[in-house]
Amino acid sequence: MSAPTKVTPISGFPELLPADRLLELHVLDTIREVFELHGFAPLETRAVEPVERLLGKGGDADKEIYGVTRLTGEESSRDADLGLHFDLTVPFARYVLEHAGKLHFPFRRYQVQKVWRGERPQEGRFREFTQADIDIVDAGELAAHFEAEVPLVVAEVFRRLPVGPFRIQVNNRKVPEGFYLGIGLTDVQGTLRIVDKLDKIGPEQVAAQLVQAGASAEQARLALALAEVRSQDLSFVEAVRGLGVEHPVLDEGLEALAAVVRAGAESAPGTLVADLRIARGLDYYTGTVYETQLLGAEEWGSVCSGGRYDSLASDGRTTYPGVGISIGVTRLVHLLLTRRGLRASRSTPAAVLVAVVDEASRRRSDLVAAALRGRGVPCEVAPSAARFGKQIRYADRRGIPFVWFPGAGEDDADQVKDIRSGEQVDADATTWVCPPQDLRPGIVTPAG
């Protein structure tokens, strides 16, 4: 059997080398730890959904769906039209409907899985990527305090990661909706879509497009003025009030947004910012929406987004409103690798390489390794009884800090060498303590 010789990457389907995957695992472990500390239950959903369930749920036309079909399926056993999920919220909403009778509400879950989108690949955008989501859903009514809790969980994740300063921007869709209605712009979705381009095309172009869509110059000016409002404290309420627009939906939105920003200022000062231009493309959001920027890497777009949805999961009798947020793990990790220059301190979990003196004594090295593992020290045994210089180089190339030499000391005692310092001392595999900072691969910053 001969393999095809052409081996090429597929654009948009990233793969990492082992050391970079270790950094990604560190990010994933941190996320999971914080999610579990906050009592979110783990869940996975299948990778495929009926295409009809995916269509129309994504909002943006560019969230292209990948269809899935058996290549050799007989006609009679054809599956229904299936597609790969493009996010974890739509499948989760379906899961809630399907298993509602066996879940306890309010239901808190986290979910870390791959998703697929046929978008044009570009820096920070991929066709296959990992998302890490938390959501809280309830049956009938969802308490407002969950809308403040969800971004604070993410803030705790980001504080534990080497991402530097970040900002979670919060808005409530009811604010622009009520505001637009209050100034007589009834095409709320259309207006949001144009204002959403502010960062890309600038205020003049946005104003021009709004006028083109039927707004007066004054309406366009006010819509832009709303989008300019932002504050870390509650002053955004006065700023909006100062624009002189009145509408009951606006009042509702400002009150809800103020509650989230107030809770954020109490628990994590400076982290949550009311930013009235944030809208989110996905059309299932109905209230609070979130985006997250890493300061200095704003052009990568949001690394964590979400919001409240009131009617995504409904079986006609009961509605399950929810609020959730999703960390774009793949984008975040690529940013840490390519922009921040972070890397793992080694390319393997092994902290120790147990040298082999000669093939006849490999069993002795195996027993040393078993003793170390029994005490929680990751290690491997040298692949061959090469001369010690070569075995040390094997460890060095992988960043393994310690090499263990069976019987190298006096009276046949074992010795262990820290190959960074060169220090070599007598050691016993049943008592040796690996320095805690060397037990797992660490994260290395360019400076340190």
CB of 346 to a copy of itself, least distance (A): 9
Burial class from Cβ neighbours inside 10 Å (0-12, 13-18, 19+) for residue 3 reads: exposed
Nearer to a copy of itself, 70 or 241 (CB): 70
Residues 373 and 367: their CA atoms lie apart, in Å, by 10
Flag whether 89 is marked binding: yes
Compare residues 25 and 239 and give the one whose CB is closer to a copy of itself: 25
Each as own residue / partner, the long-range contacts of residues 311-314 (CB below 8 Å, 24 or more positions apart, any chain) are 311/284, 311/286, 312/57, 312/89, 312/90, 312/93, 312/284, 313/93, 313/94, 313/96, 313/97, 313/137, 314/97
Is 131 annotated as a binding-site member? yes
Q: Residue 1 class from Cβ within 10 Å (0-12 exposed, 13-18 middle, 19+ buried)?
A: exposed
Given the complex with a copy of itself, which of 366 and 428 has the nearer CB atom? 366
Buried b or exposed e, range 242-255, using 16+ CB within 10 angstroms: eeebebebbebbbe
183 Cβ contact partners less than 8 Å away, ≥ 6 residues apart:
218, 219, 222, 223, 245
Has 110 been labeled as part of a binding site? no
Q: Is 30 labelled a binding residue?
A: no
**Are 209 and 194 in contact, with CB atoms under 8 Å apart?**
yes
* Minimum CB distance to a copy of itself, residue 359 (Å): 8
Token pair 């006028």 in the structure block, residue: 211
C-alpha distances out from residue 18 to 22, 183, 219, 348, Å: 6, 56, 54, 7
Contacts 24+ apart (CB under 8 A), 115-119: 115/84, 115/85, 115/86, 115/87, 115/88, 116/66, 116/84, 116/85, 116/86, 117/63, 117/64, 117/65, 117/86, 118/64, 118/65, 118/66, 119/12, 119/62, 119/63, 119/64
Nearer to a copy of itself, 17 or 211 (CB): 17
Tell me: is residue 292 an annotated ligand-binding position. no
209 vs 319, which CB is nearer to a copy of itself?
Answer: 319
Least distance from a copy of itself to the Cβ atom of residue 297, Å: 24
Q: Is 120 annotated as a binding residue?
A: no
Residue 307 to residue 285: CA distance in whole angstroms: 6
d(CA 240, CA 242): 5
Smallest distance from a copy of itself to CB 214, Å: 24
Rounded to whole angstroms, the Cα distance separating 169 from 354 reads: 51
Q: How far is the CB of 238 from a copy of itself (least distance, A)?
A: 24
Cβ proximity to a copy of itself, 60 vs 221, nearer residue: 60
Peptide bond preceding 383 in cis form (omega within 30 of 0): no
Q: Between 40 and 180, whose beta carbon lies closer to a copy of itself?
A: 40
Q: Pick the closer one to a copy of itself by CB: 59 or 407.
A: 59
**Least distance to a copy of itself, CB of residue 111, Å:** 10
**Residue 135, marked binder:** yes
| DSSP at 17 | -
Identify which of residues 89 and 219 has a Cβ nearer to a copy of itself in the complex.
89
79 is in an annotated binding site: no
Q: How far is the CB of 96 from a copy of itself (least distance, A)?
A: 9
Alpha helices in 328-361 (DSSP H): 329-338
Output 93 or 185, the one with its CB closest to a copy of itself.
93
Is 285 assigned to a binding site? yes
Please state the length of the chain: 448
Report in angstroms how near the CB of residue 225 gets to a copy of itself at its nearest: 30
Q: How far is the CB of 67 from a copy of itself (least distance, A)?
A: 5
User: Which of 156, 180, 155 minimizes the C-alpha distance to 169?
Assistant: 155
| C-alpha dihedral sign at 340, 346, 347, 349 | negative
User: Which single residue is written with the structure tokens 């305090």?
Assistant: 145
Q: Which residue numbers belong to the known binding site for L-histidine?
A: 87-89, 117, 131, 135, 280, 284-285
Q: Which residue numbers belong to the known binding site?
A: 87-89, 117, 131, 135, 280, 284-285
